[in-house]
Amino acid sequence: MNARTGLGPTDPAAAPTAAGPTTAPCSSDHLPSQAGPSAAGPVTGAGAGRPAPARRRGLRRIAAVAMIAGPGLVAANAGNDAAGIATYASAGSQYTYGTLFFMVLVTVALVMVQEMAVRLGAHTGKGLGALIREQFSLRLTALAVGCLLLANTGLVVSEFAGIGAAFELLGIPKWAVVPPAAVLLWALVLFGSYRWAERIFLVMSLAFFSYPIAMVLGHPHWGEVGRNLAVPHMQPSSDFVLLAVALIGTTVSPYMQFYAAAGVVDRGAKPEDYRLIRADAVLGAVFACVISLTIIIATAAAIGGTGPLQSASEAARALEPVAGPGAELLFAFGLLGASALAGAVVPLSASYAIGEAAGVERSVSRRFRDAPLFLGVFTAQIALGAIVALTPVDVIQLLIGTQVLQGLISPIVLVYLLVLTNRRSLLGAAANGPRYRIAATAVVVGVALMSTVLLVQTVLGWFGLV
């Protein structure tokens, strides 16, 4: 357990000292502190006036950014998973550039949401699940955890479906690869080095960097792209609302807030590290959304206006300007890496949240008998996700459907996040200011309204009224 979990933002032990750079050097398990030799002031003595100390300070700052970069990058790549790729590609194939302005709004929402999550972790030393347990009633805690578990279970199913779809593009049936993949991911987390596997999955998912290239080589109508990015464009049809909610769900996924806060705590962040933590969260969120925009534009340029996607091979066609006949192979490689990464990150985020809410041991380094709830929830999600993914379902519809579920649940989790970051009793001066509170409330209300419209349309559709 982190020794700092009992310290709030107003605790003297948690606050940075004003006496100067007295902070001890950070270990490899902790974030670099803002206070340190590089902040000690002008260099005096024999080294005065020499450029070397300035260069060393610059190198230390670069190293600090490199050390902190991780949770934001992992969350960004995990967000662009199988379900995310399918949703963004379907937006391009169905509405060409019509969803671009909506994605700009979603990008703003993701930046604010991720910033609030890491701010909670940095200033309280506790994950979102633990804070919900302490600040809300038992019933409200159970509601938050139940929503996250429901959303994550559906998402894990989609990740294994994505792994199966990647191999099916190569002519290998999913029943031959999904069970071994589930066992491998489970074993990596329980017995192996998850960090090592995480690096491999990140490298594999870099294949999706080809989407920005495909976007340019696909020669989209740049005038239309610019207009749709700048001018609000919404369609009143139920299909557009359904896809819009799916875009919210795949971009502002509930698990990302739990993962972001827990990742900050696990790395031993302090309040004085917040500036670097915030930079990582914001840059990670912007990076994820830029990639998603390029996926929409590349797909729109390649197959825009053809209607909803029917298969993974159709989504791969957007990469033909880059890979030509090898588009399916490139798409399969990236899809496998992104799905495997999210297949491990998503169930871990739920396990951490449930462990925090229950107040029990939660660590990948623990044995099963030491953390039965934490590792049991992880195991159950992996098993259920792999089993359901083996059923004869429409992969594309499954992937998009899970994102709709994420979009419906997102407002519930965002309300908890907003209430917590508004409380000065919890964050002190780091709580949301008046302007930020208004903007964050507008984000939560906007997401909730979209989800409500979808629910109303769905219910009316049951009675044949739409």
CB 117 within 8 A of CB 78: no
Domain count, the chain: 1
- What is the mean predicted confidence (pLDDT) over 3-11? 37
User: Which CATH number fits the domain that encloses residue 401?
Assistant: 1.20.1740.10
Strongest mean pLDDT among 22-31, 105-114, 230-239: 105-114
> How far does CA 349 lie from the centroid of its chain?
10
* Domain-embedded: residue 202: yes
CB 421 within 8 A of CB 131: no
Q: Is the pLDDT of residue 416 over 90?
A: yes
Q: What is d(CA 177, CA 188) in angstroms, rounded to the nearest whole number? A: 16
- DSSP 8-state code for residue 21: S
Closest CA to 122 of 267, 285, 284, 286: 267
* Domain-embedded: residue 100: yes
* Domain-embedded: residue 70: yes
With tokens 């069970």, the residue in question is: 179
Give how far Cα 181 sits from Cα of 177, 197, 367, Å.
6, 13, 22
CA angle (19 as vertex; 13, 23 as ends), nearest 5 = 60
- What is the mean predicted confidence (pLDDT) over 402-414? 87
Q: What is d(CA 462, CA 132) in angstroms, rounded to the nearest whole number? A: 35
Closest CA to 339 of 459, 208, 182, 159: 159
* Domain-embedded: residue 116: yes
CB 198 within 8 A of CB 341: yes
Is 24 strand, coil or helix?
A: coil
Minimum mean pLDDT range among 105-109, 265-269, 416-420: 265-269
Full domain range(s) for residue 111:
66-407
Helices 327-358 & 254-266, crossing angle to 10 degrees? 70
* Domain-embedded: residue 51: no
* pLDDT bracket for residue 293 (50, 70, 90): very high
* pLDDT of the residue at 343: 85
* pLDDT of the residue at 381: 92
* Domain-embedded: residue 131: yes
pLDDT tens figures, 110-166: 999 999 999 999 999 888 989 999 999 989 999 988 888 888 888 898 889 889 988
* Domain-embedded: residue 37: no
* Domain-embedded: residue 50: no
Percent of the chain with pLDDT over 90: 28
Chain mean pLDDT for the chain: 79
Q: What is d(CA 206, CA 192) in angstroms, rounded to the nearest whole number? A: 23
Q: Write 199-204 long-range contacts (CB < 8 A, 24+).
A: 200/337, 201/77, 201/337, 201/338, 201/340, 201/341, 201/344, 202/73, 202/74, 202/77, 202/337, 202/341, 203/337, 204/333, 204/334, 204/336, 204/337, 204/338, 204/340, 204/341
Q: What is d(CA 4, CA 161) in angstroms, rounded to the nearest whole number? A: 40
- DSSP 8-state code for residue 125: S
Give how far Cα 344 sits from Cα of 252, 378, 407, Å.
18, 9, 21
Q: Is the pLDDT of residue 270 over 70?
A: yes
